[in-house]
Amino acid sequence: MLIPMAKVNNEPISITENQILQKNLTRKKSLETNPALITRTFYKGKVMFMCNKQYFHTLEDAEVCFWKLHPTTKKPLPNNPYKDFDINKLLGTNSFTNQIWHHVWDGCDYKCYCKNNFKEMKTRFLKEMNTYRQYHGVKPVKLNSELTSYAQRHAQNLAKLKIIVPDIYKQFGETVGVANIFVAPIIVKKWYEEIKTYDFYHSMPKTKSNMFTQLVWLSTTNVGIGIAKNGENMWIVVKYYPKGNINGKYKNNVLPFMAKSIKQ
């Protein structure tokens, strides 16, 4: 909050530009000169901060004034809260899906999979999906540009509204997920892990297993992958053709797990 100039009754204590940068703990080197750009003083018994002959109640407000006066000075970046982030803590205890996940994703962090509008991420999602399909004895799906356009449009709509709901257009099958940008690579893994709720004996569909069943649906041949980001979250949409999860067709399309080794 800005207040009018007034006479003070104490000597100001200088706060230099270098001290501002040290306060943020992210500036790697001091500036060549350190003129007193912000001063701390007292007014009516209260600590005040002065910048450009204006008084502020807090140092943060005075710093805003400073950055406006010096727009060419590089503003310190905030500390990275994900510096020590370890995705392995979120993978869970399923040794099979963990093996698949590491096979597909090891060595590719956010800087890797966000390149070229998440092209690398889409490539790895497709590889992971087809690896799971392989273990159920079904053919791999191919990435289709038209389906990708539909998937991308829905992903962008969801990201804009910050919600997660199925598409109103039902001509294609669909799996949808949302996660933090650093956690998003485990979305397909979590879809597949819905296998634990599927009843293979009776070939009975369940709401909590519809991501898994669509993922391994035998008749599906093509997919489209859409990825949209809003803030620190990412929305993933996959469209499938022909669509799966059709009543009366689960037995012939959702095949049981078949033990095979991962192709290297």
Structure tokens at 151: 């998937």
CB 239 within 8 A of CB 147: yes
- Is 263 within a domain? no
Residue with the two structure tokens 């070229």:
116
Domain containing 15: what range?
2-69
Same-domain check for residues 65 and 96: no
- Is 264 within a domain? no
Instruction: Give me the number of domains the chain comprises.
Output: 2
* CA-closest candidate to residue 216, choices 239, 195, 247, 186: 195
Up-side HSE of residue 50: CA atoms within 13 Å toward CB? Answer: 19
Same-domain check for residues 58 and 152: no
CATH number at residue 220: 3.40.33.10
Would you state the pLDDT for residue 94?
A: 96
> Sign (positive/negative) of CA torsion 191, 195, 197, 199?
positive
- Is 232 within a domain? yes
Would you state the pLDDT for residue 157?
A: 96
Would you state the pLDDT for residue 72?
A: 63
Blockwise average pLDDT, block size 10, the chain, 264 residues: 37 43 38 54 76 82 79 59 78 96 96 94 98 97 98 97 92 97 96 96 88 98 98 97 96 90 45
Would you state the pLDDT for residue 64?
A: 81
- Is 228 within a domain? yes
- Is 93 within a domain? yes
- Is 32 within a domain? yes
Would you state the pLDDT for residue 4?
A: 36
Same-domain check for residues 124 and 221: yes
Same-domain check for residues 7 and 56: yes
Instruction: State pTM to two decimals.
Output: 0.69
Would you state the pLDDT for residue 75?
A: 58
